[in-house]
Amino acid sequence: MNWISNYVRPKINSLFSRREMPENLWTKCPECGTMLFHRELSDNLNVCPSCEHHMGISPRDRFTALFDGGIFTEVEVPAPITDPLQFRDQKRYPDRMKAAQKSTGESEAMLVAEGEIGKTPIVAAAQDFSFMGGSMGMYVGNAIIAAAERAVLMKRPLILFSAAGGARMQEGILSLMQMPRTTVAIQMLREAGLPYIVVLTHPTTGGVTASYAMLGDVHIAEPNALICFAGPRVIEQTIREKLPEGFQRAEYLLDHGMLDRVTSRTQMRDELISITRMLLGQPRAISGILEAPAETEEAPVLEAPKEEDAAKEEVPVKKAKPAAKAPAKKPAAKAKPETKK
């Protein structure tokens, strides 16, 4: 009985039991409702292939797609005071930080890195909206200053990807102080003659829009990104009027002169390479790189034989004897004239 219950029954159950499927294999597009396989979605940089809706993407995944070969080096950012105001709402501020760090795997809301795009060295910074709404606190201010100082030191352009709901309320006035600090950092780039390109992603609002997000030399936005200071709902309640369709979206701002380009995420890398090289006064990027020829085994080089060896190896050739000369014919004797007796 033990043999049946311990071996046979588990074997039968394993054959007919239903396998559990992971929950994160499929993602539903919030715009068109299409079910997307996770590999297909990640290969397309979290852009729906059916309706081109741009979903959120982490800074690391963005940098992996941006830099050549996905290779980049993080720039160290000075860590600020953890909880300067001892702030507490429904949770303590340190507890909220720990929860955000656990869910995102990042230490803060901005990542700074350096590397090459199209063989052009740059410094890049990206905000993570999934980390407490990408809110701008003291760390974000330190990160932008560190990125600007690194760009000035290495004489490289700075590309910034913004995504934030504004200043971080848990840090109060200290978060608002990052607006002038980051403005001074951008001025350092301008005085050094280095390009500063801003890519505005969904959403970019509040104090971020009022400071470093709108101070770039070139402003590019992802399609249908919300870019504003106060949201449309607040404006409607204030003026008590219906706002036009697409108000404060990227395409609306492009039509009204607040943006330079609206570019899809799948084409953003090529766009940034072209603009960066143009601002640096460099020639157009090479669209393709030829691979090095495959290594082939070289034929051994034959050395010329030395004179001594050649003399030894020579085969003696017998000289042919000269043919014997035919004996010369004697001239015929002349007939003597007959004499008369």
Per-residue pLDDT tens listing for the chain (341 residues): 566 666 666 777 666 655 555 667 889 999 999 999 989 999 999 999 999 999 999 999 999 999 999 999 999 999 998 899 999 988 999 999 999 999 999 999 999 999 999 999 999 999 999 999 999 999 999 999 999 999 999 999 999 999 999 999 999 999 999 999 999 999 999 999 999 999 999 999 999 999 999 999 999 999 999 999 998 999 999 999 999 999 999 999 999 999 999 999 999 999 999 999 999 999 988 766 656 666 665 655 556 555 655 555 555 555 555 555 555 555 555 555 555 44
Q: Residue 142 has what pLDDT?
A: 97
Which residue stretches of the chain are H helix? 2-3, 9-16, 38-43, 59-66, 93-104, 138-154, 173-176, 178-191, 206-209, 232-239, 250-255, 268-279, 307-313
pTM: 0.78
Residue 259 has which token pair?
């943006």
> One-letter amino acid identity for 278?
M
Question: What pLDDT score was predicted for residue 285?
Answer: 80
pLDDT for the residue numbered 60: 96
Residue 124 is inside which H or E element, if any?
A: strand 120-127
Compute CA 230 distance to the chain's CA centroid, rounded to the nearest angstrom. 32
CA atoms in the 13 A half-sphere facing the CB of 283 = 2
Give the closest residue to 220 by CA, choosing from 202, 253, 198. Answer: 198
In this prediction, residue 284 carries a pLDDT of 86
CB 64 within 8 A of CB 124: no
Report yes or no: 97 and 161 within 8 Å, Cβ to Cβ.
no
> What Cα–Cα distance (Å) separates residue 12 from each residue in 15, 21, 276?
5, 20, 63
Inter-axis angle of helices 138-154 and 178-191, to 10 degrees?
Answer: 10
pLDDT at 286: 74
From residue 23, alpha-carbon distances to 26, 219, 300 in Å are: 7, 38, 61
